[in-house]
């Protein structure tokens, strides 16, 4: 009996040992891919405003370790925009903290997103060199269709840095007896969002076919694309769905850029498209059973929330603390601030604007007011002229929740970009527009926002009204300058009064905004089909040729960064906290949704007049056409009766 049991157990052990080999011989495999995208330097957990936290790399590492324990052969991949979004990004060019931390977390490969070029192509190269020089482990970086432009003066330096890091179009990776082929792509919209990259974009589908063919020739059994292109509910904007339709042979697309959270994969033919959401909110996992004959079956797909239920990995916690210390000793030191320094408090939410909804925004108005405050309190030799400040939906990157407001929180709101000084954060710039162009800025908000939600504007120093049901590019019904005058009527009793001034079409007015928003002014003409136009000017009326000449500077000659204008304004509130006036929009932007015919056509510009003339002509033509048809019909009937 004992002998039979021994034989049985031996047989079972032999079968267990042989099953993987038999499965391999039959051409069946199991692939598990762990994935993220749009991490945006979210090294630390972020509050959700309701007492919970989301994200943080120390918790992400714990989630990764748990998944790898269940799937030892899993790949770990990222779809780009791993940088720009917190104060630690200020180490981007000098330390390459993002890629080095991803290396410590065990990432196998990543692709670059548009925000990897916020420090220009030269800054991207500095980051790669910093990581290479560190000698530490980092993920492979794959970029098949994004190369330094021929006219880029830093092209050779960038190419050297890419070579030193080992940037490739694609790679082969053997794991668990399977040979994977992985390549990376930049999308069309991503490229448009990186105006200072100095790189050229190759056709995504063409380069994907090239990579797929090359990888298959080299023995790849499973093809993965890391794409910073994104998906959308609108098919024409869903670049990664279009890619899957256009290129056969891609088994999996990890899709970044649009910050999409897919609770189920998008299936296009034999291709799975996956997204886990932005800001380290989730870790995505997909497991596919497949055969070399091409049959694939989704075995498992889930998103693991990165939240307070996960313990923090000690190694990554120590690494992040090291980065925080470096930020405090380098970037923040000149500002006299520390990473977690409390600037003020808030008793209410200041949320980022809801995309596509045209309305006022307390956060947007707070930021615009901070720019005006910076002009009055930080700028050296600010001219005493009417000034309007502007910020845009697309640059407001994080909310402010009730409680203590710290330096890092203020930075998170306006974390994009780099200045001419080479350090993180877009600087404020000043240019001049005519009164007519200033009204056009309001029209951009009213008419371009439905086409491009990130272009929604928030201003200080100007009030305006528009009706979203009026003719495109003629929606603004009123615009006027707005300034506050304060007077002490008795000791300790200060009264503030609002004063409104008409805008003179031919007069020059000073406009202060962030560098990115200023650079986007040149796109107004194309976004409005040539019907609107703005030409930023210097104080003497000559065109702006270089916005770096327009940067606002303090008494030390340093750039006034967008984020620091906000931080300093918040600090001015002190222990009293953010004023209650910011709990709701104050009406400086009055959005009407009226269908009143008089309101729809009053004060028409040439666009509305031409449209009305065309519509009237079409109505008259239709009237006479109907009359002619009726007359012809009556004649035919009369002719038939006469013949009878």
C-alpha to C-alpha distance for 470 and 212, rounded to whole angstroms: 50
Do both 286 and 406 map to the same domain? no
Please report whether residue 317 resides in a domain: no
Please report whether residue 461 resides in a domain: yes
Do both 75 and 129 map to the same domain? yes
Could you tell me the CA-to-CA distances from 49 to 46, 123, 345, 410 in Å, in that order? 9, 34, 14, 15
Could you tell me the CA-to-CA distances from 3 to 7, 9, 11, 431, 503 in Å, in that order? 6, 10, 12, 92, 101
Do both 451 and 543 map to the same domain? yes
C-alpha to C-alpha distance for 33 and 251, rounded to whole angstroms: 12
Q: What is the pLDDT of residue 23?
A: 43
Do both 236 and 289 map to the same domain? yes
Q: What is the pLDDT of residue 13?
A: 43
Placement of tokens 């990897």 in the chain: 116
C-alpha to C-alpha distance for 46 and 52, rounded to whole angstroms: 8
**Secondary structure letter of residue 101 according to DSSP:** H
Could you tell me the CA-to-CA distances from 478 to 385, 501, 518 in Å, in that order? 22, 12, 23
Please provide the distance, in angstroms rounded to a whole number, between the alpha carbons at the two ends of the chain.
Answer: 114
- Residue 65: give its domain's CATH number: 3.60.21.10
Q: What is the pLDDT of residue 271?
A: 97
| Gyration radius of the chain over CA positions | 30
C-alpha to C-alpha distance for 23 and 105, rounded to whole angstroms: 31
Please give the residue range of the domain that contains residue 564: 339-477+505-598
Please report whether residue 179 resides in a domain: yes
Q: Which residues contact 629 (CB under 8 A, 6 or more apart)?
A: none
Do both 252 and 368 map to the same domain? no
Please report whether residue 580 resides in a domain: yes
Domain final residue pick, 598, 613, 630: 598
Do both 242 and 355 map to the same domain? no
Do both 469 and 555 map to the same domain? yes
| CA atoms within 13 A of residue 337's CA, in its CB half-sphere | 23
Do both 173 and 68 map to the same domain? yes
Do both 233 and 344 map to the same domain? no
C-alpha to C-alpha distance for 368 and 392, rounded to whole angstroms: 9
Query: H-helix or E-strand containing 252?
Result: strand 252-255
Placement of tokens 């990554």 in the chain: 316
Do both 269 and 373 map to the same domain? no
Residues of the chain with pLDDT under 50: 1-2, 5, 7-25
Tally helices (H) and strands (E) across the chain: 18, 26
Burial of 390 (0-12, 13-18, 19+ CB in 10 A): buried
- pTM of the predicted model, to two decimals? 0.85
Domain final residue pick, 259, 279, 305: 305
Q: What is the pLDDT of residue 261?
A: 98
Q: What is the pLDDT of residue 50?
A: 79
Do both 125 and 213 map to the same domain? yes
Residue 600 CA to its chain's centroid (Å):
34
Burial of 23 (0-12, 13-18, 19+ CB in 10 A): middle
Q: Which residues contact 85 (CB under 8 A, 6 or more apart)?
A: 39, 40, 41, 42, 115, 279, 397, 398, 412, 415
If phi over 0 gives left and psi between -120 and 50 gives alpha, with beta otherwise, what is residue 498?
beta
Please report whether residue 457 resides in a domain: yes
Q: What is the pLDDT of residue 415?
A: 93
**Secondary structure letter of residue 174 according to DSSP:** E
Burial of 542 (0-12, 13-18, 19+ CB in 10 A): exposed
- Residue 366: give its domain's CATH number: 3.90.780.10
Please report whether residue 282 resides in a domain: yes
Q: What is the pLDDT of residue 222?
A: 97
Closest CA to 285 of 501, 77, 551: 77
Please report whether residue 53 resides in a domain: yes
Number of independent structural domains in the chain: 2
Please report whether residue 314 resides in a domain: no
Do both 123 and 262 map to the same domain? yes
């Amino acid at each position: 009996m004992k002998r039979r049991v021994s034989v049985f157990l031996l047989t079972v052990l032999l079968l267990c040992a042989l099953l993987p080999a038999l499965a391999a011989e039959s051409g069946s495999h199991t692939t598990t891919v762990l994935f993220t995208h749009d991490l945006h330097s979210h090294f630390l957990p972020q509050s959700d405003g309701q007492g919970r936290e989301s994200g943080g790399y120390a918790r992400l590492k714990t989630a990764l370790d748990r998944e790898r324990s269940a799937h030892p052969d899993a790949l770990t991949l990222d779809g780009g925009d791993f940088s720009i979004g917190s104060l630690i990004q200020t180490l981007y060019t000098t330390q390459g903290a993002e890629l080095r931390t991803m290396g410590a977390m065990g990432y196998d490969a990543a692709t670059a997103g548009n925000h990897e070029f916020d420090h220009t192509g030269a800054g991207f190269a500095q980051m790669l060199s910093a990581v290479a020089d560190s000698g530490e482990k980092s993920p492979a970086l794959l970029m098949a269709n994004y190369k330094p432009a021929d006219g880029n003066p830093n092209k050779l330096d960038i190419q050297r840095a890419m070579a030193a890091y080992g940037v490739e179009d694609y790679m082969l990776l053997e794991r668990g007896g399977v040979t994977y082929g992985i390549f990376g792509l930049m999308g069309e919209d991503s490229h448009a969002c990186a105006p200072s990259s100095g790189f050229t974009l190759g056709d995504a589908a063409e380069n994907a076919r090239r990579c797929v063919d090359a990888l298959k020739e080299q023995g790849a059994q499973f093809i993965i694309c890391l794409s910073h292109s994104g998906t959308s509910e609108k098919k024409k904007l869903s670049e990664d769905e279009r890619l899957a339709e256009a290129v056969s042979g891609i088994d999996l697309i990890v899709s970044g850029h649009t910050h999409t959270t897919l609770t189920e994969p998008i299936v296009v033919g034999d291709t799975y498209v996956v997204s886990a959401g932005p800001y380290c909110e989730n870790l995505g996992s997909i497991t596919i059973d497949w055969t070399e004959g091409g049959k694939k079956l989704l075995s498992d797909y889930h998103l693991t929330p990165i939240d307070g239920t996960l313990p923090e990995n000690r190694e990554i916690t120590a690494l992040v603390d090291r980065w925080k210390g470096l930020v405090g000793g380098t970037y923040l030191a000149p500002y006299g601030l520390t990473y977690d320094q409390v600037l003020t408090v808030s008793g209410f939410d200041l949320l980022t604007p809801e995309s596509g909804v045209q309305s006022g925004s307390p956060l947007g108005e707070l930021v615009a007011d901070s720019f005006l405050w910076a002009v009055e309190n930080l700028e050296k030799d600010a001219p005493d002229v009417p000034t309007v400040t502007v910020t845009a939906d697309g640059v407001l990157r994080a909310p402010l929740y009730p409680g203590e407001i710290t330096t890092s929180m203020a930075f998170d709101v306006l974390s994009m970009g780099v200045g001419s000084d080479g350090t993180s954060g877009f600087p404020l710039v000043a240019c001049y527009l005519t009164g007519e162009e200033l009204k056009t800025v309001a029209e951009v908000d009213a008419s371009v926002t439905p086409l491009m939600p990130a272009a929604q504007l928030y201003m200080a120093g100007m009030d305006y009204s528009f009706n979203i049901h009026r003719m495109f590019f003629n929606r603004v019904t009123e615009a006027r300058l707005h300034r506050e005058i304060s007077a002490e009527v008795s000791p300790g009793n200060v009264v503030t009064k609002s004063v409104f001034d008409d805008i003179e079409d031919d007069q020059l007015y000073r406009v202060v905004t962030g560098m990115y928003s200023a650079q986007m002014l040149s796109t107004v003409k194309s976004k409005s089909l040539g019907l609107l136009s703005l030409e930023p000017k210097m104080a003497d009326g000559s065109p702006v040729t270089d916005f770096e000449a327009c940067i606002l500077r303090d008494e030390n000659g340093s750039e006034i960064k967008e984020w620091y204008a906000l931080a300093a304004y918040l600090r001015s509130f002190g222990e009293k906290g953010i004023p209650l006036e910011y709990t709701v929009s104050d009406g400086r932007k009055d959005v009407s949704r009226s269908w009143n015919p008089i309101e729809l056509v009053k004060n028409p510009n040439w666009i509305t007049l031409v449209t009305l003339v065309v519509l009237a002509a079409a109505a008259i033509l239709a009237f006479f056409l109907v009359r002619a048809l009726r007359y012809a019909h009556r004649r035919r009937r009369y002719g038939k009766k006469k013949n009878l």
